[in-house]
Amino acid sequence: CRSFRWHFTIQQRCGFKKATRKPESKRVVPEEPGPPHTESSEAAIQRRTPAPQWDQQAPSGPPRAFGRLFRPLVFTVGFTGCAFGSAAIWQYESLKSRVQSYFDEIRADWLEKLQPQKRGDVRKEVNQWWNNLSDGQKTVTGIIAANAIVFCCWRVPSLQRSMIRYFTSNPTSKTLCSPMLLSTFSHFSFFHLAANMYVLWSFSSSAVSMLGREQFMAVYLSAGVISTFVSYVSKMATGRFGPSLGASGAIMAILAAVCTKMPEAKLAIIFLPMFTFTAANALKAIVAMDTAGLVLGWKFFDHAAHLGGAMFGIWYVLFGHELIWKNREPFVKIWHNFRTRGGPGRGGDQGGAM
C-alpha cells in the first residue's frame, strides 16, 4: 500500500483546549492618544481564520456510560442495511438502463461525426480525460470531491462551530449519530486529506474491479460508520475521550479487503519504490501497529477506528460477501415487483430483475 494515510484526532492536530478557564476581570484603562495602529496582513488573516477551539467534555453521568452507545449502535446497523439495500437497487437500475445507454452512446457518436470538431474544446478534453479513467477512479472521484469541499468548509470561521459538532466524532458530544458518517468526509489538515485521498485513489481500481461500484460504495460508507462506532466503544472503555475525523476507517476497510483478496499482490511505498512487499505482509504490519497503538495508548492516531475498518474489510471478503451481497435477490425481486407495478405502461415489463 503506497503512502498510508491516517485518521488524525483534532485534539492532536489543531491544539484544542483541554479545559475551560474562568474569565479574569478586566480593568478599563483609558487609551492615550497616539498614532493609529496598523496590523500586518498575515496577522489580520490569522485573526480572521482562527484554528477551531474545542473544550474537552466529560460524558454525562458515569465516566464510562455505555448506555450512550445504544443509539450509535442502532444507527450503525440501520445505516449499513440501508447502504447495501440502496446498492442492490442501484445495481438493478443500472442493469435495466444499460441497453438504453448503449443506443444513446451510438447516437451520440453519430452526431459527433456530423458536427464540426472544435479546436481547444475544454469540454471535449474533460470528457476524454474522464473516459480514460478506470471504473474505480471514476467511482472515487465523487468521494474525493466531497472531502475537498468539507476541507474548504473548515477554512470558513463562521462554520467552525457547526463543523466541530457535525464533522467530528466524539462519544461525549451531544450529536452522536450523524457525525459517524460526516466525519468520514472531514479533514482539517491538508496533508491528512492528501494522504488519505492518494491511498483511496491507488486502491480504487482493484477494489471496484473486485466488488463492483455499487458494492464498493456500500462497503466504503458502511465501514466509515462501523469504524467510528468501534472508536466510540474504545473511547468509552479506556476513558480517552476526544474528537476524531478522517476517512481512515473507511479506507482501511478497502485496503484490508484488497489485501485479503489478493494477498500475493506486490505493493510499495511511494517514497521508497525500490522496496516491495506483499499485500498480506502489509496488512499484518498495519494491524500490528494499530493494535500496539491501541494497547499502549498512542494518541496521535485513532487506532481503534483503523482496526475497526480493517476488521470489517477482512470479514466482508471472507464472510460478508456471501452473507449479504449474494443473498440480495429476494430484496431485488421485491423492488422489481414494485417497479413493474408502479407507474403507467409498466405492466408488461418483466425483465431486468438481476
**Average pLDDT of the residues in 329-348:** 74
Local confidence band at 112 (pLDDT 50, 70, 90 cut-offs): low
Residue 249 to residue 180: CA distance in whole angstroms: 11
CB environment 117-143: b (16+ within 10 A), e (fewer): eeeeeeeeeeeeeeeeeeebbebbeeb
In a domain, 191, yes or no: yes
Of 7, 187, 303, 306, which residue is the catalytic one?
306
pLDDT tens for residues 65-101?
A: 778 899 999 999 999 999 999 999 999 988 888 766 6
**Average pLDDT of the residues in 55-69:** 60
Local confidence band at 108 (pLDDT 50, 70, 90 cut-offs): low
Residue with cell 462501523: 226
Residue 231 to residue 12: CA distance in whole angstroms: 16
Alpha helices in 154-278 (DSSP H): 160-166, 178-182, 190-211, 213-238, 248-261
Looking at per-residue pLDDT, the higher value among 351 and 167 belongs to 167
Residue 85 to residue 80: CA distance in whole angstroms: 9
Q: Residue 268 in 3-state DSSP? A: strand
In a domain, 327, yes or no: yes
Give the residue among 89, 305, 72 at the shortest CA–CA distance from 214: 89
Local confidence band at 18 (pLDDT 50, 70, 90 cut-offs): very low
User: What would the grid cell of residue 114 be?
Assistant: 456530423
In a domain, 254, yes or no: yes
Looking at per-residue pLDDT, the higher value among 23 and 73 belongs to 73
pLDDT at position 106 is: 64
Looking at per-residue pLDDT, the higher value among 298 and 313 belongs to 313
Residue 122 to residue 119: CA distance in whole angstroms: 9
In a domain, 328, yes or no: yes
pLDDT tens for residues 121-163?
A: 777 788 888 888 888 899 999 999 999 999 999 999 999 999 9
pLDDT at position 280 is: 92
Looking at per-residue pLDDT, the higher value among 200 and 53 belongs to 200
Angle, alpha carbons 304-161-143 (nearest 5°): 55
CATH number, residue 252: 1.20.1540.10
Angle, alpha carbons 52-54-59 (nearest 5°): 155
Burial status of residue 22 (CB atoms within 10 A of its CB: 0-12, 13-18, 19 or more): exposed
CA dihedral 240, 288, 251, 265 (to 10 degrees): 180
What mean pLDDT, rounded, does the chain reach?
79
φ and ψ at residue 324, rounded to 5 degrees: -105, -60
Q: Model-level pTM?
A: 0.77
For residue 166, pLDDT over 90 is answered with: yes
In a domain, 52, yes or no: no
Q: Cα–Cα distances in Å, from 242 out to 11, 117, 287? A: 7, 57, 22
Give the residue among 88, 79, 78 at the shortest CA–CA distance from 335: 88
**Average pLDDT of the residues in 264-293:** 87
For residue 322, pLDDT over 70 is answered with: yes
Q: Which of 29-38, 191-200, 245-254 has the lowest mean pLDDT?
A: 29-38
Q: Any catalytic annotation for residue 183?
A: no
Range of the domain at 76: 67-92+135-336
Residue 304 to residue 286: CA distance in whole angstroms: 12
For residue 261, pLDDT over 90 is answered with: yes
In a domain, 118, yes or no: no
Residue 119 to residue 134: CA distance in whole angstroms: 26
Local confidence band at 323 (pLDDT 50, 70, 90 cut-offs): very high
Of 248, 303, 321, 336, which residue is the catalytic one?
248
* Number of domains composing the chain: 1
Give the residue among 280, 253, 254 at the shortest CA–CA distance from 266: 280
Q: Any catalytic annotation for residue 248?
A: yes
In a domain, 315, yes or no: yes
Local confidence band at 269 (pLDDT 50, 70, 90 cut-offs): confident
For residue 114, pLDDT over 80 is answered with: no
In a domain, 73, yes or no: yes
Length of the chain: 354
Those residues with Cβ within 8 angstroms of residue 63's Cβ, 6 or more apart along the chain or in another chain: 239
Looking at per-residue pLDDT, the higher value among 119 and 77 belongs to 77
Contact 173, 161 (CB under 8 A): no
Q: Which of 63-77, 197-211, 214-228, 287-301 has the lowest mean pLDDT?
A: 63-77
Q: How many CB atoms lie within 10 A of CB 66?
A: 14
pLDDT at position 353 is: 41
Local confidence band at 48 (pLDDT 50, 70, 90 cut-offs): very low
Maximum C-alpha span of the chain: 88
Looking at per-residue pLDDT, the higher value among 328 and 56 belongs to 328
Give the residue among 340, 347, 341 at the shortest CA–CA distance from 96: 340
